[in-house]
Amino acid sequence: MTLSPDEIVLNLDANSRQQAIERAANLLAAARNLDAALVFRALWRREQAGSTALGRGIAIPHARVAGITTPAVLFARTEKPIEFRAPDGNPVFMLYVMLVPADGQAEDHLRRLAMVAQTFSDSALRESLASLSDPSAIQRAFADAESRMSIAQATQFHGKTDAIVKSPPDKQRGAARLI
C-alpha cells in the first residue's frame, strides 16, 4: 500500500463520481503508459456494479486491467465533496484508486482491497489525510498507519498464541493448526 508522492493528488477537480474516476483514470494511465479510455472503462464498469464508497468520505475505486504486471495506485483528495452513493450517505472527498493486473490472482486483489479498507478504518489516518497539504506528509501518514496496523496484528496474533500456551492441555487440541 506504500505510495510515492507522485501517486498522491491533492485538490482533484471533479463535480461527480464519474468525473472523479475519469480524472483519476487519466492520471494513472499517464503514469503507467496505459490507454486512459481502457482504464476509465474498467473503473467505471466496476463502479456501476456497485459504489466503491466505504463511508466517512472515502471511496476505493478499483479494477482489473490488462497491460500491467504490478498494481498501480493513486490517492486523490477532491477539491469539494462528491456524491458517491456511500453507505453512510456522506459525500466522498478521498479516493484510493487501485488497478491490479487482469491476469492476476483474484485472492491477491481481494486481499489488497481488504488491507486498504482496514487501513482507512484508522481514524488518525483519516484525520491526517483530510488536513495534510504536502504529498510527502501524506505518504508518511500512510506509512505510520501501516505500522500501527502491523503492530496491532502482531499483538493480536501474540495474544492468541499466549492463550493457547496458557490453556490447560485438554483445551489445546488443534492448537498446532492455529499457530
Would residue 41 count as lying in a domain?
yes
Task: Tally the domains of the chain.
Answer: 1
Region 99-128: mean pLDDT is: 90
Q: Which pLDDT tens digit goes with each residue over 24-67?
A: 999 999 999 999 999 999 999 999 999 999 999 999 999 999 98
Q: What is the gyration radius of the CA atoms in the chain, in angstroms?
A: 19
Q: pLDDT band at 104, cuts 50/70/90?
A: confident
Would residue 163 count as lying in a domain?
no
Catalytic residues: 62
Would residue 18 count as lying in a domain?
yes
Q: pLDDT band at 157, cuts 50/70/90?
A: low
Domain of residue 130: give its range: 5-154
pLDDT of residue 178: 32
Q: What is the CATH number of the domain that holds 52?
A: 3.40.930.10
Would residue 98 count as lying in a domain?
yes
The DSSP element (H or E) to which 139 belongs, if any, is helix 135-166
- How far apart, in Å, do the first and last CA atoms of the chain sit? 26
Q: Long-range contacts made by residues 53-56, C-beta under 8 angstroms, separation at least 24? A: 53/84, 53/85, 53/86, 53/87, 53/92, 54/86, 54/87, 54/117, 54/120, 55/86, 55/87, 55/88, 55/90, 56/88, 56/90, 56/120, 56/126
Backbone dihedral region of 153: left (phi > 0), alpha (psi from -120 to 50 degrees) or beta?
A: alpha
State the Cα–Cα distance between residues 101 and 130, nearest whole angstrom: 29
* Size of the chain in residues: 179
What average pLDDT is seen over the chain? Answer: 86
Whole-model pTM over 0.75: yes
